[in-house]
């Protein structure tokens, strides 16, 4: 553990979940990604002291944790805006209108891809793949996933977020109405 950083501490509830995860897998190392989600859910990102904690708790290397954080777009090493909107712009989503969705979001939010709104509430990202090739254009918002996007559907998502509600994937049909 690096001693020039403060120690990382999971909440009691998250620590219970962490122990449950470790017991669930055949090796402690297998719990790495779910443990990273626990930390990110608690902190909003995975700070360096949490990386040290994962190394100590799971017996993995620092490079293994950073490898996962740099490969997967859902893990964050820096504090993030409240809502990070990731729009797939890979070929399948591009063909069915991802560019118009990105353009619409840029217009509605007043920011470009890779930027944050001045109030710190939203960030907009283009990502290479959300594994929804048959359901694009697609958008991921944290653990929530939206498919078959239209500008009208995007407006309803933004309105809901601005009102403090995160529409879940299971309410996605309500957004289409």
Structure confidence at residue 1 (pLDDT): 47
H or E element in which residue 124 lies: strand 122-127
Helices (H) and strands (E) in the chain, counts: 8, 4
Write down the mean pLDDT value for the chain: 88
Does 58 share its domain with 93? no
Please state the rounded mean pLDDT for residues 143-155.
91
Tally of structural domains, the chain: 2
Question: Is residue 158's pLDDT more than 90?
Answer: yes
pTM greater than 0.85 (yes/no): no
**Where is the domain boundary, 71, 94, 120?**
71
pLDDT for the residue 171 = 44
- 96 — pLDDT class (breaks 50, 70, 90): confident
- CATH code for the domain in which residue 96 is found: 3.40.30.10
Q: Which domain holds residue 138?
A: 83-176
| Whether pLDDT at 177 is above 60 | no
């Amino acid at each position: 553990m690096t001693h020039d950083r403060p120690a990382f501490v999971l909440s009691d509830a998250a620590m219970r979940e962490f122990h449950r995860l470790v017991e669930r897998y055949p090796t402690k190392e297998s719990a790495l990604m779910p443990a990273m989600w626990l930390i990110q859910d608690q902190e909003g990102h995975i700070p360096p002291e949490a990386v040290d904690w994962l190394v100590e708790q799971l017996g993995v290397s620092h490079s293994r944790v950073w490898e996962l954080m740099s490969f997967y777009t859902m893990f964050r090493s820096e504090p993030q805006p409240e809502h990070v909107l990731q729009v797939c712009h890979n070929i399948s989503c591009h063909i069915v209108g991802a560019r118009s969705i990105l353009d619409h979001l840029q217009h509605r939010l007043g920011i470009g891809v890779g930027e944050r709104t001045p109030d710190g509430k939203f960030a907009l990202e283009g990502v290479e793949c959300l594994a929804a090739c048959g359901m694009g254009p697609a958008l991921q918002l944290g653990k929530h996933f939206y498919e078959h996007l239209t500008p009208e559907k995007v407006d309803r998502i933004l309105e809901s977020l601005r009102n403090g509600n995160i529409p879940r994937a299971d309410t996605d049909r309500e957004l289409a109405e």
